[in-house]
Every structure is written in C-alpha cells, then in structure tokens.
Amino acid sequence: MIKLTIEQAATARGIQSQKELRAVVLEKTGVDLRPATISDMYRNNKTQINRDHLETIMLALGTTDFNEVLTIEGNKKDDGQ
C-alpha cells in the first residue's frame, strides 16, 4: 500500500496547515491546486495519485525525494489477508 506523507513533509518545513501548504504551492509553482485536492493528499485520502499534483507539491516543498512524501507499506497479500 502506498501512503502519502505530505503532512509530515510539510510540517518538517514549518508548514502547519493545508491552507498554508496551498499558499506555498501557489507562491512557489504558480499552480492553484483546489483546496479539496490539497486536503485529500494531505490527509492521505486518495486512492489514486495524480502525478502532476504530487510533482507540484514536491516542487513547492523543495524536494525531489519521493521518500519524503510517500511510503510503501507491505500489501495485504503479504499480510495473509
């Protein structure tokens, strides 16, 4: 399972809210992501990840390391479920 860790990456950079993250994304990339898009990715509520949105957030956070914004956990088949 892929888990987004955007909230942790943002917090590590002093960004304390989704609203603040959205403002940073707009300021640093010029891309105005919808509040719902930011919210879903911030709270890890996405079942599908838009690569463009993820790239935009990564650029705004100043990272090229996927390990900062997502983790891959063992899948259910490995857990015997």
- Residues of the domain holding 27: 2-72
Q: Which residues pair with 59 in a beta bridge?
A: none
Prediction pTM value: 0.86
Count of domains forming the chain: 1
In a domain, 78, yes or no: no
In a domain, 79, yes or no: no
CATH number for 61:
1.10.260
In a domain, 80, yes or no: no
Name the helix (H) or strand (E) containing 76: none
Q: Which two tokens stand for residue 77?
A: 């088949």
The tens place of each residue's pLDDT in the chain, 81 residues long, gives 889 999 999 999 999 999 999 999 999 999 999 999 999 999 999 889 999 999 999 999 999 999 999 999 886 665 554
In a domain, 55, yes or no: yes
Name the helix (H) or strand (E) containing 70: strand 70-72
SS3 content of the chain, % helix, strand, coil (to 5): 50, 5, 40
